Chains A and B, each alone.
Chain A
Amino acid sequence: MLTESAHTRYARPGGVEAGWFLPVGWVMVEESERSAGGEGPDVRFEATVLAPDAGVSAFAVAERVAELDLDRIPDPEGGVRLLIDVDECVALLDRGFEVRLRRAVPVRPLDPQLIAGDDEVQAWFDERVAGTEEGQAT
């Protein structure tokens, strides 16, 4: 059995309004893990950025983009890839960059299916320590 502090409650993963009544898929969370939502944008965009003039290197583009303090993420092709909201996209366009929106990335919680259940976590630990005795050491 998982045991934790008095703050521990059980909630369905992935929702701000996590259910307190459904037994399936419940996981161990702290009461305070059920955070309130933020006030940011509803959607961001994964975008790649190019300079308007041909022949400008990715390095030079990156230096100019850095002035905008944006959320730069590694780009598999060595270019400049960003996670931006609409206002940031506009700022890039205003500065003359060519912005290619690759996909929308909605602001939402982690897919609940990606969050481990308590039983699964405990089973993993039990399996790993199988064959040892509590308190055993070399």
Chain B
Amino acid sequence: MYRTVAQLNNLMGQLAGFFPQIVTRLRMPEPSVEGRTVYALRLRAGGGGARRGVLLVGGTHSRELMNPDLLVELAVDLVVSCVTGNDVTLGRRTWPAGDIKVILETLDLYLLPCSNPDGRIYVMNVDDMWRKSRRDNPGTPCDGVDLNRNLDFMWGVTQGQTSCSPCSDVYAGPSAFSEPETRNVRHLLDTYRIDCFADVHSYSELILYPWGHAPTQTTDPSQRFTSLPTGTCQPIGRPHQEYMPPQDLQRFQTVAQRIVDAIAAVRGRAYTPQSSLGLYATTGTHSDYAYSRHIANPALRKVYGYTFETGPWMGNVPDSFHPPDPAPIKEEAESGLIALIQQCICAIELIGARFLGREDEVGVLRRVRDQVFATTPAGRDWIALYERVQTPLTAVVLEDEGLARRAADVLARAGDVFADEEAAVPPDVVDEALTILRQLEDRAPTDEVRADLRSLRPVLEQAADRSTSDIVERLMARGPQTGGQTAE
């Protein structure tokens, strides 16, 4: 069953009214083209500022009816779990209440469940296959803009499924951000700190990440979209492969796999992670725009943007866009969204902000990660290991303030040492790090996390009195190997 726009708005209002300490219903600055108010939700528990943020958007394409319901249900489940301490159970996948609490106490979540209310209403009342907004296109008999072609990324380049014709179902609109519905999304990205993003669509069981306009390559930084003309109403017209730093591609792929795993754990459905181009070529999409912003304008924060395509082929088109029973699909997609949200937590950043009250040392470690480790396959394997263990261990560390403060102290001293590449690592720092590592191993929630932690031990044991440059060089040459050894 699908909720009307009024019912969705009402639920958001009720949720904010019921749990005002956690939920805020935000009125978007612009109404829809037909004048309807558009609402978002902000979820956050506890205090503290300067948090990482996640933005989830639904309802962009009118006929993809499940996703506005899904986002409201996600909000309710997260908040109720945080308040009651009950786990979130989605089919065979259980998300522990402790993990949900960490999410809401460390991140700001922004949910825009129904970005295109006019379209949803039109689908329910007139045409259940309507895709676009309800914009009147002057001088034509055709209505609507494809809101997922209207953002300022390669806008108006008619690569693949993008058109400059107002009668097309993939019409990009008269200009980038011509539509209030897309400007509302930009407003959220501009106004709040957003680090992770997903635009939730249907159907085909895909988790998509940039790029959508061209094949992705990681070796030639000179091939950038910023050098291509836009608004041409022509395809790119020459060979182009869009650059993405290898560490970003790895991050997209790693997180997409986590999302896929979390979805499969619910009832076994196998979603496919791939670049957006694998579905078909597009320009002006939400997820590409979100990720491209920091490239077009280096002053902006990097946002990892994904597109979910929820649900399988159901044997015909109407049932695929709005299945008679969407509940199982929403459950598995919710699990995938929680995985995405969880992956947005950065443990080191969190501990630094919360217990050190500054970013200096964290900034040093981040630079080592992004500018040094990310440049070799072995280094990227270490980053992947860190990203695997950080989420489960964040909950462990935050439950023990003494352990958290000691971890923060080691973090600060490591940051100081790594600021000078010739500095030697003091033995007492190594001893303390090993002690903390043992405690984390004892409390690790799974054997996989324990195995990952064990692979850190030989590195630490050999670190005392070595220069940081020597340690980094060794790590970049030899990736982790679970079982206590490192691999060549």
Q: Chain A contacts of B11 at CB under 8 A?
A: 121, 125
Given contacts A32-B35, A35-B121, contact A62 B280 (CB under 8 A): yes
Given contacts A69-B168, A108-B128, contact A138 B101 (CB under 8 A): yes
Q: Is the beta-carbon distance between A4 and B9 smaller than 8 angstroms?
A: yes
Q: Which residue of A lies closest to B21 (CB)?
A: A137
Binary interface encoding of chain B residues 194-219 relative to chain A, with 1 for a CB under 8 A from any of its CBs, else 0: 00000000011010000000000000
A135 to B171, CA, bound (A): 45
Q: Is the beta-carbon distance between A76 and B126 smaller than 8 angstroms?
A: no
Binary interface encoding of chain A residues 98-129 relative to chain B, with 1 for a CB under 8 A from any of its CBs, else 0: 00001101011111001110101100010011
Instruction: Pick from B22, B124, B313, B320: contact of A110, CB below 8 A.
Output: B124
Instruction: Pick from B3, B141, B316: contact of A116, CB below 8 A.
Output: B3
Q: Chain B contacts of A27 at CB under 8 A?
A: 4, 7
Q: Chain A contacts of B395 at CB under 8 A?
A: none
- Report if B309 contacts A (CB, 8 A): yes
Q: Which residue of A lies closest to B17 (CB)?
A: A134
Q: Is the beta-carbon distance between A110 and B65 smaller than 8 angstroms?
A: yes
- Report if B6 contacts A (CB, 8 A): yes
Instruction: Pick from A8, A34, A39, A105: contact of B129, CB below 8 A.
Output: A105
Q: Chain A contacts of B34 at CB under 8 A?
A: 32, 35
- Report if B245 contacts A (CB, 8 A): no
Binary interface encoding of chain A residues 65-106 relative to chain B, with 1 for a CB under 8 A from any of its CBs, else 0: 010011111101000010100000000000000000011010
Q: Is the beta-carbon distance between A2 and B125 smaller than 8 angstroms?
A: no
Interface pairs (6), CB distance under 8 Å: A8-B6, A30-B36, A30-B121, A35-B121, A107-B129, A125-B15
Binding site for A on B (CB under 8 A): 1-7, 9-11, 13-15, 17-22, 34-36, 45-46, 65, 76-77, 80, 82-84, 101, 105, 118, 121-129, 131, 134, 141, 143, 158, 160-161, 163, 165, 167-171, 203-204, 206, 279-281, 309, 313, 316-318, 320, 322, 324
Binding site for B on A (CB under 8 A): 2-4, 8, 13-16, 18, 27-30, 32-40, 44, 46, 62-63, 66, 69-74, 76, 81, 83, 102-103, 105, 107-111, 114-116, 118, 120-121, 125, 128-129, 131-132, 134-138
